[in-house]
Chains A and B, each alone.
Chain A
Amino acid sequence: MIRSHILVCGGTGCTSSGSHEVIAELNKEIEAVGLDKEVKVVMTGCFGLCALGPIMIVYPEGAFYSKVKPEDVKEIVEEHLLKGRIVKRLLYQETVEGDDVKSLAETNFYAKQIRVALRNCGVINPENIDEYIGTDGYMALEKVLTTMQPQEVIDVIKASGLRGRGGAGFPTGMKWQFAANAVGDQKYVCCNADEGDPGAFMDRSVLEGDPHAVIEAMTIAAYAIGASKGFVYVRAEYPIAVSRLKIAIEQAKEYGLLGEHIMGTDFSFDLEIRLGAGAFVCGEETALMTSIEGHRGEPRPRPPFPANKGLFAKPTILNNVETYANVAQIILKGPEWFRSMGTEKSPGTKVFALGGKITNTGLVEIPMGTTLREIVEEIGGGCPNGKKFKAAQTGGPSGGCIPASLIDTPIDYESLIQIGSMMGSGGLIVMDEDNCMVDIAKFFLEFTVDESCGKCAPCRIGTRRIYEILDKITRGEGEMEDLDTLEELCNHVKANSLCGLGQTAPNPVLSTLRYFRDEYVAHIVDKRCPAGVCKKLLSYEIDPEKCIGCTLCAKNCPVGAITGELKKPHSIDKSVCIKCGVCETKCKFGAISKK
Chain B
Amino acid sequence: MPDPSRLVSELEQLSGLARALGDRARRRGAFLIWRAQARAVTRVAVKSGRVEDVSTSSGSGHGVHVLTSEGRTALASRDDFLPGPAEELFDRAATAAEAAAGLGVDPAGFASLTPETARAIPDGLQAFDRIDLAGHARRLVELERELGGRVPDVTLALTFATDLDAWRVARSDGADVLWAMPRCSLRLSASSSGDSRHTVGAAISGASPTLLDDSEAMTTFLKRAEEAARLARALPDAPVHPAGAFPLVIDYALAKGLAHEAFGHAAEADGFRSSVLAKGGRFRSGDEVGASHVSVIDEPVPGDHAWQPFSSTGVRRDRATIVDHGRLRDALTDAWSAGPSGVRLTGADRAESFRSAPLPRMTNIRIEIDAPLHAPGRFEDYGPAEVRDLLGAAGVLARHPRVVYLSGYSGGQVNPATGDFVFNCKSIYTISPGGVALHKPAIFSGSMFDALHAIREGFGPLLLDAIGTCGKWGQSVPSSGGSHYFLVLEPSPGIRLGGR
A and B: interacting chains: no
What residues of chain B have their CB less than 8 Å away from a CB belonging to chain A? none
What residues of chain A have their CB less than 8 Å away from a CB belonging to chain B? none
